[in-house]
């Protein structure tokens, strides 16, 4: 048990001050704007909850919400199993293989986000792109501009390319923290590989995997720059996700409505974080490890 000492606050205080300054204060400031019509910042006009009502009653909002949920669901159901599988295979590999694969797979994480769509648009360009020419040669009529399904495929593949490394790193971190004694015990009990996975590896990976799930959920749910650059929400709003609408509104300097939208989205984030916390706390004791 950790000693109880409130002087520890002094150590945490600098971090809290900065987070307050760049996180909490801006949100407080903007809450004010969300209740006003601001033709310019010096000319506020109180409109109450009008902006919020506009969001909550608009069908577009729910359509985008649904698309964002669908996108996150697809992304999670591909990236989590794939990442866990790669991590499981890595665990049985030689050290050199492990570091090579980890280095390779994390490379897309260091690509600036505005360049990821540029790289992919270049790659799937039917005239000059490797993948684009390959598809044309195979006779696939690939058209990410006007075919909604194809835009979705590009987005999902691109997102997987971008983020698979994070899932693999986290999953591998979870697996490699399992002491060998667990596997020895499993071998004595003649456990099958599935049983080893189900009853040893998965429970031991739970904390890092829930973290990976949370990060991947939130980032895909609010995907912005990448999706915008690929097809600007098109074709026909088929890829208009939540963030794209907010981005659009901020770009056109509609202070009031975009402030209200920011607050609504932040409340969604807060809810997700709270659900995550509630879900992991009930499983708390299992995740608590003796100090290594």
Partner 1 sequence: MKSLSFLGRIALFAMVGAFVLVPLAQTIMTSFVSTLPRAGIAEGHFSLINYLNILHSPVLKEAILNSIIYVVLNVALCLGVGLPAAYAFARYSFVGDRQLFFLLLVFRITPTVVLSLPIFVLFAQIGLENTPVGIALVHCVFNIPISIWILEGFIASVPREFDETAFLDGHSLPSFFFRHLVPAIAPGIGVTAFFCFIFSWVEVVLARILTTTGGKPITMAINALFGFRTDFGLVMAMTVLALVPGIAMIYFVRNHLAKGFVIRT
Q: Which residues pair with 46 in a beta bridge?
A: 36
Q: Closer to partner 1 at the Cβ: 8 or 140?
A: 8
CB of 29 to partner 1, least distance (A): 5
Nearest Cα to Cα of residue 74 among 261, 279, 223: 223
Q: Closer to partner 1 at the Cβ: 16 or 140?
A: 16
State the Cα–Cα distance between residues 57 and 228, nearest whole angstrom: 24
55 Cβ partners below 8 Å, 6+ apart?
Answer: 61, 257, 260, 261, 264
Q: Which residues pair with 37 in a beta bridge?
A: 45
CB of 107 to partner 1, least distance (A): 6
CB of 15 to partner 1, least distance (A): 4
CB of 186 to partner 1, least distance (A): 18
Q: Closer to partner 1 at the Cβ: 152 or 172?
A: 172
Q: Closer to partner 1 at the Cβ: 70 or 275?
A: 275
Do the beta carbons of residue 171 and residue 212 sit within 8 Å?
Answer: yes
Residue matched to tokens 């708390």? 284
CB of 285 to partner 1, least distance (A): 13
Do the beta carbons of residue 46 and residue 128 sit within 8 Å?
Answer: no
Q: Closer to partner 1 at the Cβ: 152 or 257?
A: 257
Tokens of residue 186, six digits: 């499993």
Residue matched to tokens 């360009």? 125
CB of 196 to partner 1, least distance (A): 15
179 Cβ partners below 8 Å, 6+ apart?
Answer: none
Cα-flanking dihedrals φ and ψ of residue 45, to 5°? -135, 120
Q: Closer to partner 1 at the Cβ: 152 or 263?
A: 263
């Amino acid at each position: 048990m950790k000693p109880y000492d409130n002087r520890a606050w002094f150590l945490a205080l600098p971090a809290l001050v900065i987070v307050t300054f760049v996180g909490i204060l801006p949100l407080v400031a903007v809450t004010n704007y969300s209740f006003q019509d601001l033709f310019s910042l010096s000319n506020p006009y109180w409109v109450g909850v009008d902006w919020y009502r506009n969001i909550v009653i608009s069908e577009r909002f729910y359509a985008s919400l649904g698309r964002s949920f669908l996108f996150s669901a697809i992304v999670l159901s591909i990236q989590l199993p794939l990442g866990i599988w790669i991590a499981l295979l890595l665990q049985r590999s030689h050290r050199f293989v492990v570091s090579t694969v980890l280095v390779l797979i994390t490379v897309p994480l260091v690509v600036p986000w505005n360049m990821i769509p540029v790289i992919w648009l270049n790659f799937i360009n039917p005239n000059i792109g490797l993948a684009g020419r390959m598809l044309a040669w195979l006779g696939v009529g690939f058209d990410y501009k006007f075919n909604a399904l194809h835009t979705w495929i590009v987005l999902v593949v691109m997102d997987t390319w971008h983020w698979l490394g994070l899932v693999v790193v986290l999953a591998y971190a979870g697996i490699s923290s399992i002491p060998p004694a667990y596997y020895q015990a499993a071998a004595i009990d003649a456990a099958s590989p599935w049983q080893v996975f189900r009853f040893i590896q998965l429970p031991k990976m739970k904390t890092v995997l829930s973290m990976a799930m949370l990060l991947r959920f939130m980032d895909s749910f609010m995907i912005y720059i990448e999706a915008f650059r690929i097809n600007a929400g098109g074709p026909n709003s088929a890829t208009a996700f939540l963030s794209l609408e907010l981005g659009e509104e901020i770009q056109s300097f509609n202070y009031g409505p975009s402030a209200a939208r920011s607050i609504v989205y932040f409340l969604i984030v807060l809810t997700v974080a709270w659900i995550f916390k509630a879900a992991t706390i009930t499983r708390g004791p299992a995740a608590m490890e003796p100090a290594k």
